[in-house]
């Protein structure tokens, strides 16, 4: 299974002091947004929950 990579140009326009490092993962119709320093276990549980909600 492959995921589409989407780049948001709005982050490039915002001042650096107002942006937080973040990632966005799309699983079907669910969008998971998290900071890059999120705990790996928490992120894995969020992805599993999103996948489970699709079935």
Does the pTM surpass 0.95? The reply is: no
Residues 8-19, mean pLDDT to the nearest whole number: 57
Sequence spans of domains, the chain: 10-54
Sequence-ordered list of residues with C-beta below 8 angstroms from that of 8, at least 6 positions apart, any chain: 24
Q: What is the pLDDT of residue 36?
A: 83
Sequence-ordered list of residues with C-beta below 8 angstroms from that of 6, at least 6 positions apart, any chain: 24, 26
- Alpha-carbon span 10 to 13, nearest angstrom: 5
Tell whether the model's pLDDT for residue 10 goes beyond 70.
no
Residue predicted with more confidence, 33 or 2: 33
Residue predicted with more confidence, 32 or 54: 32
Quick one: three-class SS letters along 1-55? CCCCCCCCCHHHHCCHHHCCCEEEEEECCEEEEEECCCCHHHHHHHHHHHHHHHC
């Amino acid at each position: 299974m492959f995921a589409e990579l989407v780049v948001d140009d709005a982050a490039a326009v915002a001042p650096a002091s107002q942006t937080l490092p973040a990632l966005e993962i799309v699983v079907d119709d669910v969008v998971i947004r998290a900071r890059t320093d999120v705990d790996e276990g928490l992120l894995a549980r969020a992805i599993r929950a999103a996948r489970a909600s699709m079935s």
